[in-house]
Chains A and B, each alone.
Chain A
Amino acid sequence: MRYVAPTSVAEVVALLAGDPEARVFAGATDLVPQLRAGRPEPSIAIDLKKIARLTEVSLEDGTWRIGAAAPTADLTGDAALTADLPGLVHAGALIGSDQIQNRASLGGNLCNASPAADSVPALVVNDARAVVAGPGGERTVAVVDIPTGPGRTSLAPGEFIVCFEIDRPPARTSDAYLRLIPRTEMDIAIVGAAARVTLDGDGNCAGAAIALGAVAPTVVPVPAAARALVGEPITDGALARVAAVCADAANPIDDKRGTITYRRQVAGVLAKRAVTEAAGRAGNGGGR
């Protein structure tokens, strides 16, 4: 294996185009355990962390740009980003220990394509877009369209994610992400739920998005749950409808961490709580 640390996106594109066994990495928090478990080494390990576009976090013209290789600790440390997108930042802060959060990135979390990836539902409810670079230049694709199954993505050979773009949320809008794990830290979600809520001046729900993690091969957006909220205040009745719709939309597996029945019920409960948390912040003005 060779190690290279290019300083431009173009260099990475050329390296990937020249060698199908080359692989990009940011924190290597998934790559190293995979190599340890016996997966074959890439021919070239391409370190993305020396490229400014891949590590910067910036707000420009009303759009947040988060480098795909920026460690999640950099998101937690950004007060303006945390005010605008507290649910997304919280999701990043749930991934592993401080040691891991100093390396692990949103790009890696998405492209490792674990169904339980904590940051993905939070990206999806915020309509995050991925800027993808490859041999054909750059293209922008909705984050929800990247994972196609456990460990698989829609990225073509030679493509990688440069950064994420998220439009700054409008006034009276906020997000939340909650997950269930068997302990308080350092575990993989049994179920995750993200919500984003916009309230109007009267406290009625003017817009919503809900997405579930760890209950299907890929992240599950639940537009029907969002429709159950819009146009009304966030009442217990509306939340009960959200829970029912989310339990129904979940398509989990039975495994040692949880049964299908349990995961469906928890998906509903967490979705309800995530909506409540997001709406509470939105009612306080969101990030504005």
Chain B
Amino acid sequence: MSRTHVSCNINGDDVDFLCDAGESLLDALRDEMRLMGAKEGCGTGDCGACSILMDGRLQCSCLVFAPEANGATIVTVEGIAVGDNLHPLQQCFLEGAALQCGVCTPGFLVAAKALLDHNPDPTETEVRYALAGNLCRCTGYDKIIRSVLAAADRMKQEKQEVAG
């Protein structure tokens, strides 16, 4: 069976890869593109460990057939830092100890980024609902929620400093 050719933009780079039609985008990212950030937890869209942005929308990459990515713009956790500067979410997760084993962390970071992209000043309740599709079995969530709120504060401050 011939493989399917996919052209897309991942983390700012135009890329091409070959995949099987039934392959998940998650597997293509990991196996073809060697981007190991997104993780497979459940493989059925329940846990959010494979969260990515596709054309600006938060998705479980395990539910996306890899050929669907043709022509799409994709952001994975590898693409949210700017050069050597961690994204404020990444920095706040480190400072706030918002991870233990780390398997869920890339998904949480991408889902939190999706939230802050649309809602830069979320309430705690809004953060909790926005991250309801991401499961963590270590932290008990509290440090994650606090770190997202801290990142939102920091990003607001940075914006004010730039504007001021």
Contacts and interface: CB of A to CB of B under 8 A. Distances in A.
A in complex with B: yes
A175 interface: no
Interface string A1-20: 11101000000000000000
A74 to B, nearest CB: 10
Interface stretch (B64-72, B75-83, B90-98, B149-157): B64-72
Interface in B92-140: 111, 114-115, 129-130, 132-134
Contacts of B4: 3
B63 A27 contact: yes
A47 B25 CA distance: 14
Nearest to B70: A5
Nearest to A100: B45
Given A45-B21, A185-B129, A98 B65 contact: no
Contacts of A49: 68
Interface string A178-192: 000000011000000
Given A73-B57, A185-B129, A2 B62 contact: no
B51 interface: yes
Interface SS of chain B: helix, strand, loop or mixed?
mixed
A96 B133 contact: yes
A96 B65 contact: no
A102 B45 contact: no
A97 B114 CA distance: 13
Contacts of B21: 1-3, 45
A2 B65 CA distance: 11
A273 B46 CA distance: 29
A32 interface: yes
Nearest to B19: A3
Given A3-B67, A28-B63, A45-B21, A33 B133 contact: no
A97 B133 contact: yes
A102 B64 CA distance: 11
A97 B62 CA distance: 14
Contacts of A98: 58, 111, 114-115, 130, 132-133
30 contacts: A1-B21, A3-B4, A3-B21, A3-B22, A3-B65, A3-B67, A5-B70, A28-B64, A32-B24, A32-B43, A32-B45, A32-B62, A32-B63, A33-B44, A33-B45, A36-B43, A45-B22, A49-B68, A97-B134, A98-B114, A98-B130, A98-B132, A99-B48, A99-B51, A99-B58, A99-B59, A99-B133, A102-B59, A103-B60, A185-B129
